[in-house]
Amino acid sequence: MALQRWLVASLACFHAAALSIPRSCNDSTVDLTKLDASMDSIEALSVLQQATMRNLYLEDQRSMPQRSTCSLTNAAVRRDWEHMCPRERKEFIQAVQCLRAKPSIADPDFARAARTRYDDFTAVHVNLTNFVHATGSFLTWHRYFIWSFEKALRDECGYPGYLPYWNWFSHADDPRSSPVFDGSDTSIGGDGAYFPHNGSAAFFGSVPLPPANGGGCIASGPFKDIQATMGPIAAGMFGMEPPVASFHEYNPRCIRRDLNHHVSSRFFTTANLLNLTIGDASKTVKSFQDEFNGRPQDNGFMGLHSAGHYTINGENTDFYTSVNDPSFFFHHAMIDKIFWMWQVLHPAESREVAGTLTLRNEPPLGNATIYDPLIMGVNAPTRMIHELMGTMDGTPLCYIYA
């Protein structure tokens, strides 16, 4: 068995690219009508992936004469952390640690508490939180945000790969056993140390959640006891440090987690996946986005976005400073994967936006349009929403998901 595991891990690196992109599409059309909520969620996700890749392949063939900068032959491939080999995982970990060691380049007036290059990303998220959550720019702003992080890892820290994602549906019954969170040297750190607390309350305190077995500082793995400099600002987990008086207050502290299977097992289901991608919620960008973000008034339904944050818990319950925890980028890469799949499977709706410009429309600034700016501070040039609507538009995006 040990030899078999070694062979699987060794071959994973070699075959990764070949497994992710079809070399021909002579197979029959994938029948999405056969998908059912009773199916295993990993199997359902695989079928959706096949359908997405087939649609992409056919579109790539149709647009090949016009498409000069990005195609399936040169698109970057973002992959499931679980399917990456140990060497690839360690390369990513080292690049994140590199950004955490480099000095901040942000304007102090914008990010007074930032000390590292990594902090520059937290600072942008903190300053723009009320404009990029539950708004018309939520999906595209976060797409551009995680792309800018990926670019910094590659350009500034020599990372040879692309941003990995956390497959929510794998180990949903026990996230602590996931290769993402198992605390090994090829994880992004394990659970928090045990810290007695009264659980969490999502959606501004309206949805109570029980505690799990962590709650304290990350206790194992490459990011054990890492420090944050900003926040907390609006943490949803009880027992966290009191909120800072100002976004700009320098407040060094450890990053907490409380990996919570109560949330993951309840919400990372086949039914929720299918509803978003091919069900009723998939019919318009508004219904897709609203379902993703949750319906707290409906029996505390969290949606896959909030469920991911509250599965990790701790720092991730603060929607301002959740970026402090590197797991943020894994979670939002998975959100982007589902968004990518939905766009490819629903091309007629894929270039639309819905929602206001501000969280809860406070202050009321009107509705978002595809010409609204996506601001990244020092991390990337400001672009408009329509420039980030397609992951293969080539301006600047050129990637797919495996």
- For the stretch 162-209, pLDDT in tens is 999 999 999 999 999 999 999 999 999 999 999 999 999 999 899 999
Alpha carbon distances (Å) from 121 to 90, 169, 255, 375? 21, 27, 16, 12
pTM of the complete model = 0.94
Report the share of the chain in percent with pLDDT over 90. 88
86 belongs to a structural domain? no
Instruction: Give the pLDDT band (50/70/90) at residue 66.
Output: low
**Parallel/antiparallel/unpaired status of strands 399-401 and 76-78:** parallel
The answer to the question of residue 362 being in a domain is yes
Contacts of residues 11-20 at CB distance under 8 Å and 24 or more positions apart, as own/partner, are 12/83, 12/84, 12/85, 13/84, 13/85, 13/87, 13/88, 16/77, 16/79, 16/83, 16/84, 16/85, 16/402, 17/77, 19/402, 20/77, 20/79, 20/400, 20/402
Peptide bond between residue 396 and the one before it cis (omega within 30 degrees of 0): yes
Average pLDDT estimate for 19-27:
44
Q: Please, which pLDDT band fits residue 25 given cuts at 50, 70 and 90?
A: very low
Which H or E element spans position 59?
Answer: helix 41-63
Mean pLDDT of 366-378: 98
**Is 22 domain-assigned?**
no
User: Over 70: is that where the pLDDT of 358 sits?
Assistant: yes
Question: Distance from CA of residue 284 to its chain's centroid?
Answer: 21
Structural domain range at position 225: 37-52+92-401
pLDDT of residue 400: 98
pLDDT of residue 14: 47
Q: Answer whether residue 245 shows pLDDT above 50.
A: yes
Residue 194 lies in a domain: yes
* Overall domain count for the chain: 1
Q: State the chain's mean pLDDT as an integer.
A: 92
Q: Is residue 381 part of a domain?
A: yes
pLDDT confidence of residue 23: 39
Q: What is the pLDDT of residues 252-268, one digit of tens each?
A: 999 999 999 999 999 99
Q: Any idea of the CA torsion for 243, 246, 249, 252, to the nearest 10 degrees?
A: 20
In this prediction, residues 347-356 reach a mean pLDDT of 96
Residues 215 and 314: beta-carbon distance below 8 Å: yes
Specify the DSSP class assigned to residue 227: E
Question: Is a pLDDT exceeding 90 seen at residue 154?
Answer: yes
Q: What is the pLDDT of residue 104?
A: 98
Beta-bridge partner residues of 202: 207
Whether residue 363 is preceded by a cis peptide bond, meaning omega within 30 degrees of 0, is yes
Q: Is the pLDDT of residue 331 over 60?
A: yes
What are 220-240's pLDDT values in tens digits? 999 999 999 999 999 999 999
Per-residue pLDDT at 327 exceeds 90: yes
pLDDT of residue 30: 85
Evaluate the CA torsion angle 182, 231, 228, 241 in order and state its sign.
negative
Backbone angles phi, psi at 227, to 5 degrees: -105, 145
DSSP 286-342: HHHHHHHH-BTTTTTB-HHHHHHHHHH-GGGG-TTTGGGSTHHHHHHHHHHHHHHHH
Residue 65 is predicted with a pLDDT of 54
Whole-number Cα distances in Å, 193 to 50, 196, 224, 225, 350 = 40, 10, 10, 10, 42
Q: How would residue 21 be classed by pLDDT, with cut points 50, 70 and 90?
A: very low
Is 70 exceeded by the pLDDT of residue 142? yes
pLDDT of residue 69: 86
12 phi, psi to nearest 5 deg: -60, -45
Q: Tell me how far apart the alpha carbons of residues 82 and 219 are, in angstroms, rounded to a whole number.
A: 21
Q: 221 lies in a domain?
A: yes
CB 267 within 8 A of CB 283: no
For residue 360, tell me if it sits in a domain: yes
pLDDT band at 92 (very low <50, low <70, confident <90, very high): very high
* pLDDT for 2 beyond 50: no
With 70 as the cut, is the pLDDT of residue 1 above it?
A: no
Task: Tell me the per-residue pLDDT of 291-321, one tens digit each, with 9 for 90 and over.
Answer: 999 999 999 999 999 999 999 999 999 999 9
pLDDT-derived band of residue 15, with 50, 70 and 90 as boundaries? very low
Residue 62 — very low, low, confident or very high, per pLDDT cuts 50/70/90?
A: confident
pLDDT cut 70: percent of the chain above it? 92
At 78, is the secondary structure helix, strand, or coil? strand
- Is 85 a member of any domain? no
Mean per-residue pLDDT for 138-158? 98
Are the beta carbons of 368 and 131 closer than 8 angstroms?
no
The CATH number of whichever domain residue 172 belongs to comes to 1.10.1280.10
Distance from C-alpha of 18 to C-alpha of 77, rounded to nearest angstrom: 11
- Examine the pLDDT at 329 and tell me if it is beyond 50: yes
Poorest-pLDDT segment among 66-75, 98-107, 113-122, 381-390: 66-75
Q: In this predicted structure, what is the pLDDT of residue 28? A: 56
